[in-house]
Amino acid sequence: MLFPTFDFLLFALPVLIGFWALAERPVARVLFLLCASYFFYMAGPKTEPLPAPWYYAGLLAFSTLLDFVAGGAIHRLAPAADGDDPRRAAWARRKQGAWLLASLVGNLGLLGYFKYANFLIEAFGDIAGAAGIPVSGLHLDVVLPLGISFYTFQSLSYTLDIWRGRLEPEPSLRRFALFVVFFPQLVAGPIVRAKELLPQLRAGPRFSREGLEVGAFRICKGLVKKVVLGDFIAVALTDRIFDAPTTFSSAELMVALYAYTLQIYADFSGYSDIAIGLSRMLGFSIPENFDRPYQSRDIAEYWRRWHMTLSTWLRDYVFFSVLSRLGSRWGYFAVWLTMFLVGMWHGASWNFVFYANIHALAMVFNRWNRTRPPQPLSRRLLLWPLGLGAIAAAVAGIAWFGLRLPWPQAIGVGVGVAVLMLGISALPSAGGRLNAAAHVALTFHLLVLSRIFFRSPDLATSRDFITGLVALDGHGIRPGLTTPWVWGLLAFGLVYHLTPRRWVDESLCRAFRRVPGVVLGLGFIALAYGLMRLMQDQPRAFIYFQF
């Protein structure tokens, strides 16, 4: 069931009314919302190809039961693990470790099988073939369950926090099950921690006019982002170019990259806006997931602003775990591993290996650039050309060997990346507005170029796209490829993103709340009608559904 559809409206209105009608009946309220959430999940989006069958909800129930039991067992063993008897404490810690391992294997095993098994088989065959060992093709007939990347991380965090002694277990299975399956953010986030939502479920929601008004504003904002800045741009421009990159000029390919960079932000942040808005209308608060990410001055700030709940999840459970076990001398490895996992979380293909490493190595470079001791100008003039040449040679070699780019294009890619990194390292870390604008521009273009691997369906398409991009053929943009509407939306989306957050989330929201209810209702009907006409009764699934 997709948010911008009439089907979802027919689902959401009765759920809101029924939920608040049961506000004074906590058990019935939780069971009602739990059943509604499972119904929402099993209904699935009506897209092509069709999502996993409804009975894949059994995987969701399995993760819920596994972590509920594991968390409770780990907590019950805690007194013995912290006791004075060394032998009993060692036994209790081993048992706690076994329950934690069961949770990790159960959750990550399901995620690994459904999402990564075929890619690992493919990767093994490719590596063996490169070594001259032919391996017959094998492909598992599996369908990726909807939202599995989100709900496995959400459920697993509960067990990890109990194991770390930072969370008390939830005594009620129905409340814990609702925490895992809460429908607004179930299939595409934000990833909510148990400590953020479970206390709200225990206390019960508080009805407020402000919650309804702010929630309605966030939903309207998310729908406009998704349908107007996401789907319309995809249909009118980006899909056509990414489907056949060899038939378009360098300038057209670059425009498609800019357009897709805006499209994916509008699509995913639009989903998060709708999820947060629905939660507010139900009386709950879930964490923000976006904070104007394209205003970031470096790659580290970008990941603090983009998909924030995933970034902080992996930071807390991977980065700090590596540092605590291996020490600060492994800091660069911890940064690389965390960001590599962030990238690979998004997809299982060679494309995402490149995408993950681009962001991971950029983060490592950013850490080095921020912590390196200042160098005198004479030394910089000596070392920078050497560094430029080494980076260009390394990137060109990867582009030639990994992407099979012809040497001229591979060298062009290497020089381009080296110049970008040199520009980033040459800029002072602090300064005036021009310095900040230069940092933002360089970071933004690194993100834009990495979208080649994110959007392309395979490495062959990525290779064709990069080849056409670095050709610099000078053909320009052919007449009729885009319309004034598309150019206007691209300009509006960029300007909107560069505005201060308070302009929209505070000032515009206050103005929205002052509109009379009758006018607001008529406006919402007009908005819904306009969006349905724009979709032409063919709603597109959110991009992050595939992750």
Phi, psi values for residue 141, rounded to 5°? -90, 80
Alpha helix positions (H), 44-85: 57-81
Closest to 56 (Cα-Cα) out of 67, 41, 69, 66: 41
Which residue among 75, 139, 307, 346 is the active-site one? 346
Q: How far are the Cα atoms of 2, 73, 83, 113, 510 from residue 92, in angstroms, in the given order?
A: 46, 10, 9, 31, 54
DSSP result, 278-342: HHHHTT-------S-GGG-SSHHHHHHHSSHHHHHHHIIIIIHHHHHHH-GGGHHHHHHHHHHHH
What does each C-alpha distance from 238 to 229, 275, 335, 469 come to in angstroms? 12, 26, 32, 15
Going by C-alpha positions, the residue among 358, 366, 414, 425 that lies closest to residue 389 is 414
Three-class SS state of 527: helix
Q: What is the DSSP string of 197-239?
A: HHHHHHH-----HHHHHHHHHHHHHHHHIIIIIIIHHIIIIIH
The length of the chain is 547
Give yes or no for a contact between 185 and 192, defined as CB atoms under 8 angstroms apart: yes
Distance CA(311)–CA(357), nearest Å, equals 16
What are the DSSP calls for 339-404, one per residue?
HHHHHHHT--SHHHHHHHHHHHHHHHHHHHHHHSPP--HHHHHHHHHHHHHHHHHHHHHHHHHHS-
475 tagged catalytic: no
Which run of H or of E encompasses 178? helix 173-181
Single-letter amino acid code for the residue at 38? Y
Yes or no: say if 36 and 15 are a contact pair by the CB < 8 Å rule.
yes
The catalytic residue positions are 346
